[in-house]
Structure 1
Amino acid sequence: MDPVIEVVALILGFVSWVMVGVTIPNRYWKVSSLDGTVITTSTLYENLWMSCATDSTGVHNCREFPSLLALSGYIQASRALMIAAVVAGSFGMVATLIGMQCSKAAGDNYVLKGRIAGTGGVFFLLQGLCTMISVSWYAANITQEFFNPLYPGQKYEIGEALYIGWASGVLAICGGACLMFSCKLGTKEKAYYQPTRETVYSASASRRDAQSTYGRNAYV
């Protein structure tokens, strides 16, 4: 495995993991602007955990969702997927750090290190997929309600947290793909170009036997 690809994949995975941590507590998953109306509240915004409002004086008031079971199904699923993304990213970071060639955790067994790094790539891919599914599902419900003329409730627009989530998912998928494909290519190269100790020993023994046999035949 190329050490440069390992470092690039680790950086991409780490940045995506941090961005997931920024996306989850961000309050602006969906935003509604009510400027210019007679209502005191000027802006409403929500995330997976609470609903907030900002009046014309700049005062923020937030209220956590009272019941998990009372929430919509897509919000519950988005919560679970984002938490799964954080967990998968954590495992991916640990596996990638252990599987890097500069790491001494697995000794000099580069085949084992490559497999561990490849496992880290799988975790990064899972993180990216969970994040993309979560934010895309949430955004699809926002747009569906926004363009539905018969929807009676308050309509919202896509907030900045979803864009951060999309960027995080793309970076995680790119990092995981780099680790997996580079690990596969590195394994093939090592299997083809680097013989094992047993192969070298048997080849040396064969050459010695051939030389000794040729020497005996020369004096016959």
Structure 2
Amino acid sequence: MNAIVEAVAFLLGFLSWVMVGVALPNRYWKVSTVDGNVITTSTIYENLWMSCATDSTGVHNCRDFPSLLALSGYIQASRALMIAAIVMGTFGILATLVGMQCSKAGGENYVLKGRIAGMGGVFFLLQGLCTMISVSWYAFNITQEFFDPFYPGTKYEIGEGLYIGWCSATLAICGGSCLVCACKMGTPEKVPYPYQPTRGTVYSGGPPSQSAPSNYGRNAYV
């Protein structure tokens, strides 16, 4: 496996893991819309854990969701997927660190290290898929409620937390794909045949050289 590809893939995976940690506690997963409202006295924004409101003076108040079972199913699933993404990203970082060629962990068996690095790529792919499903499912419900003319509750728009999640998922999928595609399972190298010069006289432009001595003795001639 190319060491440069490993370094780039590890950097992408690490950045995606950090961005998942930033997106998960971000408060602005969805923000109340001002579409159709002439006067806006307060703004409501929510994430997977709490709901907050701020008024025109800048005073804001947040409250945690009181019950887990009372939440919508997609919020519970998004929570589980985001936590799973952090766990998968942690395994991916550890496996990639062990499997990198520049790392002394794992010994000098580069075939085994390449396989470990490939497993790190699989973990990064799983992290990206969990994050992508979580934020996309959450955004789908926001847009579904926004364009529903009969929805009686507050309508929301997509917040910055979802955009951070999408960027994180894209980086994780790119980093994991680089590790998986560049992983080589240790193919044996072909040893070239040794060069054997043929007997005879080689003319190099100078005076003719004497022929090589024969292996036959004098008694061989009849």
TM-score range, shorter chain: 0.7 to 0.9
Give 1:75's aligned residue. Answer: 75
Match of 1:28 in 2: 28
Q: CA deviation at 1:159?
A: 0.2
Q: Note the alpha carbon deviations across 1:84-139, whole angstroms, 9 max, x for none.
A: 00000000000000000011111110011001000000000000000000000000
Matched, 1:129 2:129: yes
SS in 1 for 2:9: helix
1:191 corresponds to which of 182, 187, 193: 187
SS at 1:179's partner residue? helix
Using the alignment, how far apart are the partners of 2:24 and 2:66 within structure 1?
A: 18
Kindly provide the amino acid, as one letter, of the partner of residue 129 in structure 1.
L
Structure 1 residue aligned with 2:18: 18
Checking the alignment, whether the CA contact within 8 Å between 2:85 and 2:127 is kept in structure 1 is: yes
**Offset at 1:33?**
3.9
2:166 is equivalent to residue 174 of structure 1:
no
Scaled by the length of structure 2, what TM-score is found?
A: 0.83
| 1:152 paired residue number | 152
Q: Hey, what does 1:215 align to over in structure 2?
A: none
2:3, 2:144 → 1: CA distance? 45
Aligned to 2:66: 66
- Alpha-carbon distance in 1 for matches of 2:87, 2:38: 43
Q: How does 1:82-93 map to 2 (within 5 A)?
A: 82-93=82-93
Q: How many Å separate the matches in 2 of 1:25 and 1:127?
A: 17
Number of the residue aligned with 1:102: 102
C-alpha contact (below 8 Å) 2:51/2:65 kept by paired residues: yes
Residue type of the partner of 2:187? A
SS at 2:74 equivalent: helix
Where do 5+ consecutive residues of structure 1 fail to align?
Answer: 196-202, 204-217
Deviation at 1:192?
A: 3.9
User: Partner of 2:177: helix, strand, or coil?
Assistant: helix
How far off is 1:60 after superposition? 1.1
Cα 1:32/1:77, change in 2 over 3 Å: same
Distance between the aligned counterparts of 1:75 and 1:10, measured in 2?
30
Q: Aligned residue for 1:7?
A: 7
Gaps of at least 5 residues in structure 2 are 194-215, 217-222
- RMSD of the alignment, in Å? 1.9
- TM-score using structure 1 length: 0.84
Partner of 1:52: 52
The one-character-per-residue Cα deviations of 1:51-99 (angstroms, maximum 9, x if unpaired) are 0000111011001000000000000000000000000000000000000
Offset at residue 194 of structure 1 (A): 6.1
For 2:29 and 2:99, how far apart are their aligned partners in 1? 36
How many pairs were matched up? 193
User: Is this contact kept in 1: 2:33–2:155, CA < 8 A?
Assistant: no
Residue 36 of structure 1: how far off its partner (Å)? 4.2
Structure number, greater radius of gyration: 2
Q: Matches of 1:160 and 1:47 in 2, distance apart?
A: 10
